[in-house]
Chain A
């Protein structure tokens, strides 16, 4: 368990280095950073000042785009104008961005990437009046046991909360559509990094696929990047060349979908409903609705409290959603998706319910047993039916 977290953090660290090198956006950083100065002098629409820090730009049609939808919705709902800081690499350098925002009197800061955690925690400790929220984070990672610097969980600054959600629920449902759509039982999955979040998604998808087609396999191709149109396309094309007829993805561009459409295959997207990118291939996509959390948190901070818990949203509370299945999805699959959606929302069903076997055929969850949140958040094995290595 401990080793796995270390591995995850090393992988994440590596990704940050890559992002930092590949980004070479230092000019943008400066612009973004100086923008905050300008915004600070403007009068805010309410008595609190809110900022969001983005890894990329709001129109990437992926991760940042979907956060931007939520931020815009929260602005409309709360009447607060939110400051966007774009293109901030999620490495140690981001500390100066957080420090600047804090020193300029921002009351609430949202950080939308995994790598912002440690720099954000440092600034949170220095500015206890500022409320910090870390997307996809886990406080455990800030403790000594998780590779961080705080002795125990309780030493992590109290003005820091995390937020994420059970994408695995929507992944499972998208797997139902894919499992029904495949003709030869071979599916491909273009994936970013071998960390629990991604592994969990692949497993949930595969469980959904095999619920419709018990002998189907899902072949995984790692790209070592969250956002790279060319590499994602390359990976998808190689999978399609090998014979898969459905492509799913844990990536932020729509290139795997474009490749699938060109090969006459089906596609399950991610992050946002981007069916127009490959209308002849699109089945459905697990998507995010961050707006509810943003609005709720802004209201809480307005009321004088800073949520410091680890918020894990779900389909039940609306943070995780599934794009409406396209007309390519078989009616049986649509009915099954609707039934399972209802069951997930009322709590009578969870994707990770035993019996579940890993790739080696060993039983990891007994029949009827549901996986606990801790086990989900640290998942480091592939379930039966996945081809590839969970180590990357």
Chain B
């Protein structure tokens, strides 16, 4: 059982990556249809407090996960109405969603601030498999949602690149006019996947609450994970499998400061190490919010552009 700390750390990175994978997959589906939802951070926070309240009052993590996911979809629905139906500026609408989601979580969470949760999502164990050197702690000592997230990434990749509905998703993001000419409803597809994206983000936020943090504390629950998720989609060139690798890498950088200190390696200042994932995020967000600048990175060609049939 006495595993190497770096192996344990990689296991922790995979766990930390769960929210990132789910939130970023949600953003990826949304963006693949051409809708840019910058509101991930707000969606995560609202989902987190919703799952907290639901799990705490029902005594079941599953109820928490379901309610949190639905809350995520609900919030994304606001963005769908503003950005798709009303064709508002998607950057503004997304940022408004961050503020709204944060405020809503603050309002809902006020009575729960600092309270610990009575039920928690626990790690699964696979008997002898968990004790395998190297692979055991990394692959066989996670909770169910971590496995769901990994599986979701694989299925998403197959769905997007190997199925007809997946082709429709990609086409809607690249060339909505052609999709429209094919007789498909661009708005319907966009709304559907914005909601589905919100559902995935919601699941990610719920996991963050129910598996990772034991107490509700608004200011420290998400810590900018929603922004990192957006950056991750850019880093992954809008591809699910790369996204998983990127998420584990981000998970690794989030865990690194603590592992280095635990190993008594202290020549790099902690504050600097803790800053690294956010600097990477900042750079990619700048790219993301400049229309056109992300095309070279593989962005959907009409990302962030509202579809208006008359302008075809």
Report A's interface with B, CB cutoff 8 A: 14, 19, 22-25, 27-28, 56-57, 59-62, 65, 188, 219-225, 227-231, 233-235, 237-239, 241-242, 244, 253-255, 258, 277, 387-389, 391-392
Q: Which residues of A contact B110 (CB under 8 A)?
A: 28
Classify the secondary structure of B's interface with A: helix
The answer on a CB contact under 8 Å between B5 and A242 is yes
Q: Which residues of B contact A233 (CB under 8 A)?
A: 212-214
6 tightest CB-CB pairs across the interface, nearest first?
A238-B258, A228-B220, A242-B262, A60-B114, A389-B266, A221-B261
Q: Is B271's CB within 8 Å of the partner chain A? A: yes
With A27-B106, A228-B217, A230-B223 known to touch, is A237 a contact of B12 (CB < 8 Å)?
yes
Closest Cβ neighbor of B6 among chain A residues = A241
Q: Which residues of A contact B113 (CB under 8 A)?
A: 56-57, 59-60
With A25-B106, A241-B8 known to touch, is A229 a contact of B214 (CB < 8 Å)?
yes
Contact of B9 among A19, A24, A219, A241 (CB under 8 A): A241
CA gap between A11 and B223 in the complex, in Å:
19
Q: Is B292's CB within 8 Å of the partner chain A? A: no
With A57-B114, A60-B113, A224-B274 known to touch, is A253 a contact of B217 (CB < 8 Å)?
yes
CA gap between A27 and B218 in the complex, in Å:
13
The answer on a CB contact under 8 Å between A253 and B215 is yes
Q: Is B277's CB within 8 Å of the partner chain A? A: no
Contact of A258 among B106, B214, B257 (CB under 8 A): B214
> Besides A24-B218, A59-B113, A241-B262, 9 other CB < 8 A contacts?
A24-B219, A25-B218, A27-B106, A221-B262, A225-B220, A234-B254, A238-B9, A238-B259, A277-B116
- Distance in angstroms from B290 CB to nearest chain A CB is 23
The answer on a CB contact under 8 Å between B261 and A231 is no
The answer on a CB contact under 8 Å between A388 and B218 is no
The answer on a CB contact under 8 Å between A238 and B274 is no
Q: Which residues of A contact B266 (CB under 8 A)?
A: 388-389
CA gap between A188 and B257 in the complex, in Å:
15
Closest Cβ neighbor of B105 among chain A residues = A24
Q: Which residues of B contact A28 (CB under 8 A)?
A: 106, 110
CA gap between A229 and B107 in the complex, in Å:
20
Closest Cβ neighbor of A27 among chain B residues = B103
Q: Which residues of A contact B281 (CB under 8 A)?
A: none
What are 17 A-B interface contacts by the 8 Å CB criterion? A14-B271, A24-B219, A25-B218, A57-B113, A62-B114, A65-B114, A221-B258, A224-B270, A230-B212, A230-B220, A230-B221, A235-B261, A239-B261, A239-B262, A241-B259, A242-B259, A277-B116
The answer on a CB contact under 8 Å between A388 and B261 is yes
Q: Is B87's CB within 8 Å of the partner chain A? A: no
Contact of B261 among A23, A227, A238 (CB under 8 A): A238
Closest Cβ neighbor of A64 among chain B residues = B114
With A230-B221, A238-B259 known to touch, is A392 a contact of B106 (CB < 8 Å)?
no
Contact of B270 among A60, A277, A392 (CB under 8 A): A392
Q: Which residues of A contact B270 (CB under 8 A)?
A: 222-224, 392
Q: Which residues of A contact B258 (CB under 8 A)?
A: 221, 223, 234-235, 237-239
CA gap between A60 and B114 in the complex, in Å:
4
Q: Is B294's CB within 8 Å of the partner chain A? A: no
Residue of B116, B262, B263 with most partner-chain A CB within 10 A? B262
Q: Which of B189-215 contact A (CB under 8 A)?
A: 212-215
The answer on a CB contact under 8 Å between A22 and B219 is yes
The answer on a CB contact under 8 Å between B115 and A220 is no
CA gap between A162 and B223 in the complex, in Å:
32
Q: Is B264's CB within 8 Å of the partner chain A? A: yes
- Distance in angstroms from B297 CB to nearest chain A CB is 27
Closest Cβ neighbor of A20 among chain B residues = B219
CA gap between A221 and B213 in the complex, in Å:
19
Residue of A220, A233, A238 with most partner-chain B CB within 10 A? A238
Q: Is B157's CB within 8 Å of the partner chain A? A: no
CA gap between A225 and B255 in the complex, in Å:
15
Q: Which residues of B contact A65 (CB under 8 A)?
A: 114
The answer on a CB contact under 8 Å between A238 and B223 is no
The answer on a CB contact under 8 Å between A229 and B215 is yes
- Distance in angstroms from A33 CB to nearest chain B CB is 15
Q: Which residues of A contact B302 (CB under 8 A)?
A: none
- Distance in angstroms from A32 CB to nearest chain B CB is 11
CA gap between A277 and B110 in the complex, in Å:
21
CA gap between A228 and B218 in the complex, in Å:
10
With A229-B217, A233-B214 known to touch, is A22 a contact of B223 (CB < 8 Å)?
yes
Q: Which residues of B contact A22 (CB under 8 A)?
A: 219-220, 223
- Distance in angstroms from B104 CB to nearest chain A CB is 10
Residue of B103, B212, B215, B263 with most partner-chain A CB within 10 A? B215
Q: Which residues of A contact B114 (CB under 8 A)?
A: 56-57, 59-62, 65
Q: Which residues of B contact A242 (CB under 8 A)?
A: 5, 259, 262-263
With A228-B223, A241-B262, A242-B262 known to touch, is A391 a contact of B214 (CB < 8 Å)?
no
Q: Is B269's CB within 8 Å of the partner chain A? A: yes
- Distance in angstroms from B85 CB to nearest chain A CB is 27
Q: Is B102's CB within 8 Å of the partner chain A? A: yes
Contact of A188 among B213, B217, B262, B271 (CB under 8 A): B262
The answer on a CB contact under 8 Å between B261 and A219 is yes
The answer on a CB contact under 8 Å between A224 and B8 is no
- Distance in angstroms from B29 CB to nearest chain A CB is 26
Q: Which residues of A contact B254 (CB under 8 A)?
A: 234
